[in-house]
Each structure stands twice: as structure tokens, then as C-alpha cells.
Structure 1
Amino acid sequence: MRRGSGLALGAVLLLTACGGKTGGTTGGEKITATLDGSGSTFQKAYDEAVIDAFKSEQPGISMTYAGGGSGQGKTDLAGGVKQWAGTDSLVKPEDMSKYATGLLYWPIVAAPITLSYRLSGVANLV
């Protein structure tokens, strides 16, 4: 059920993002909110760029991403200190109960992981 809800949410977000701009609207309430995140420092630069672009579209919504590492993000999210978190690893099944409202996961940044090493006596690998 939760997975289906996550997929549905992802589909709605994707379709919303694909929508074109229409003529200006008038009236309506100004949206205001504060959304603070923390976690993976790997994705921090990406998140900050996305937040800057989002702020130009929704100036009434304050968003921040503090970084601090994946573990910090998980701790902050579980403790209710932050509304969202970035992580390089999944939450362990035994830790899921720490998240009172549950979790939704979706990847936003990916990168290759390399293993660097030195072979004694090898001057050239080509």
C-alpha cells in the first residue's frame, strides 16, 4: 500500500512538472511554508541549485538543506527536526519504527563509485 502511494505521488509530481505555463492567474491564497532538510553532503550542491530554482517559482516557501551527512539527515528526520533528508543508504528495517509518519524514498542524484588503489611495481596500466 505504501509503495503504491509513493508511486502515485511520484507520478503526480512528474505530471505536474511536465505541465506547461498557462496565462497568469489572479486571486488565490499566497502559499507560505518552511521546509528544512539535511543529510548527504554528496547531493548538497544539487539540492541547493534546485532550491534556488524552486524559490523563483514559489517565493513564499522557504527551503534549506544543511548537509551534515547521511546519518545526520536520518537522525534529524526521525527526530522531527527536519521535514526531509538526503541519504546515500537505505534506512534499516529495524529502524523504520523511528519514523512515526513513515518514509517515502525516491532517487534524485546518482554517481559512479570508484575504487582507487596502487599496484606496487606497475608503472603503467595502458
Structure 2
Amino acid sequence: MKRAHLDEIFAFMSVVDAGSFVGGGEALGLTRSAAGKALARLESRLGVRLLNRTTRQLSLTDEGRVFHEHCQQVLAALDDAEASVGQRTGTPEGCCGSPCPPRSAGCMSSPCCGTTCGPGPRCRRR
């Protein structure tokens, strides 16, 4: 999927969540016009209308509601994926990769071994 397509989807989600093009655009650092154009590109690409627009309110079409629900599920799955990776990286492990001598106190080039060259509980030196 192209980055531009993701940006359009984020604009759609933001507009729906905010309930307006102004609020949705502001949440993403976009103008009302840019958020509206992103949504128009998404609707054109999908070949369906996602939102009913009047001068006073926005409402999801049936297709928009289904698409929004799918997008929410995808974002929740991404949150879960990110959380699972974050949980795994709590304990340093792997190769230190530092060419420093074992007693060097100034080596800070290794992200897994902290501020010294001494290996962490699950680190090994190259």
C-alpha cells in the first residue's frame, strides 16, 4: 500500500473521529481543505461515498461505517503488534557489537549493554 493511501485513510479516520473536517484536519496538522481533498481522493479510489456531507453535519454512509470499522480493527492490531514488540525488548539481548576492551568504562556505542561494555544478562560480546 502506498503512503499516500495511508494518509488518506488517516484523514478519513481523523475526520470521522473529530466529527468535522476542521477538527480532523487539525488533529493531523492539515487544513480543512486538505482533509477534504484527501477524503475525496480516498472515495474516488474506492469508488464509494464514505461520508454524507451537509453544511451542518457529517454522517457515515453504510460503506463508510463498514470501512471505518475495518480501519479501527487494523489500527487496534497495529497497537497490539507494537505493544508485543515493546514487551519483548525490555531485557537487552544479542551481540554487543562493541570493539571496546572488556574493562573500558567509556564505551557507549551499544544499545543493548547500557553505559559500559559489560554485557547485560542476555548479551554477549563479539
When normalised by structure 1's length, the TM-score is 0.23
Structure having the higher helix fraction is 2
